[in-house]
Amino acid sequence: MAKTRSSDTSTELETVTSADGTAIAFERTGSGPPLVLVHGGACDHRFWDLSDVRSTFAERYTVYAMDYRGVGGSGDDAAAYELEREFEDVAAVVESIDEPVTLLGHSSGALLSLEAALRTDDLHELVLYEPPIPVGDHELYDEDVLAEMKRLLDDGENERVLVLFLREIAQSTPEEIDAQRSAPDWQDLVDAAHVWPRSVQAIGEYEFDAARFTEMTTRTLLLSGSESPPFLRDATMAVHDALPNSRLVTLDGHGHEAMLTAPERFVAEVLTFVSGPK
């Protein structure tokens, strides 16, 4: 059962209780079939508003835009953190809804969504945009960068942790970082700085076992940008190869955040898939 609460973001959010008792927040908008959105690193549920993607989806769907644990309105037990808990968080939001949902995850949120799909039977469709799964010889992060993030965190330099994450892990340009710095959720992301190093390390240690997904028959759309880093394109292909009922779409001329650089194209691909032949 979802509960309503007031969050640190000064937005009225609803929460569900995850498997370990943590309150996971989401904001509900629109009406129609349910669509759950899972953001990636260094952002919260408001990421989907930067180019009005959420409001566009809300014209046709009831949109549930959730927050990671430790971010926005979601609770956290930092001392007991494990990546597994975040898989359970996404599954908890999905299972709080009274009908099968479409689950859409971006970047690390795509990895959480992929794993959540193994933990719930309440999925109608799955949309994954470049899960950062370590495959082949690719490394998600440089050990020196992670060590520097942890040092800055220990020194209370939260904003520098976030900027380092954006520059070195997310590979954002200086212009993109400046734009994000001016967004209304910047200080909330700074306050959640402890989340970013642990997430990077945990995902970097994640081992993708294709055999675990051979019987996952949920219709799945995999999105990838032609201009994205090779490790993200390779990771997306590895997931596509593992899933028995997936479709891969390459967004030509765009990278890891086409929902910001080409929102109409992004929305069109998602809507074509979810409304297409079953």
What backbone torsions phi and psi does residue 81 show, to the nearest 5 degrees?
-65, 135
Domain of 25?
3-138+209-274
What backbone torsions phi and psi does residue 24 show, to the nearest 5 degrees?
-110, 125
Q: How many domains does the chain have?
A: 1
Residue 5 pLDDT greater than 60, yes or no: no
Residue 277 pLDDT greater than 90, yes or no: no
- Identify residue 14 by its one-letter amino acid code: E
Q: Is residue 112 part of a domain?
A: yes
Q: Is residue 198 part of a domain?
A: no
Q: Is residue 30 part of a domain?
A: yes
Average pLDDT of the chain to the nearest whole number:
92
Does pTM surpass 0.85?
yes
Is 275 exposed, middle or buried (CB count within 10 Å of its CB: 0-12, 13-18, 19+)?
Answer: exposed
| Cα torsion 186, 184, 111, 87: sign | positive
What's the pLDDT band for 278 if we cut at 50, 70, 90? Answer: low
Residues 6+ apart with CB under 8 A from 232: 130, 132, 224, 225, 256
Q: Is residue 204 part of a domain?
A: no
User: pLDDT digit string (tens) for 75-118?
Assistant: 999 889 999 999 999 999 999 999 999 999 999 999 999 999 99
Q: Is residue 101 part of a domain?
A: yes
- CATH code at position 20: 3.40.50.1820
Residue 22, SS3 per DSSP:
coil
Q: Is residue 167 part of a domain?
A: no
Q: Is residue 160 part of a domain?
A: no
Answer whether 258's CB lies under 8 Å from 232's CB.
no
User: Which tops the pLDDT comparison, 41 or 5?
Assistant: 41
Q: Is residue 219 part of a domain?
A: yes
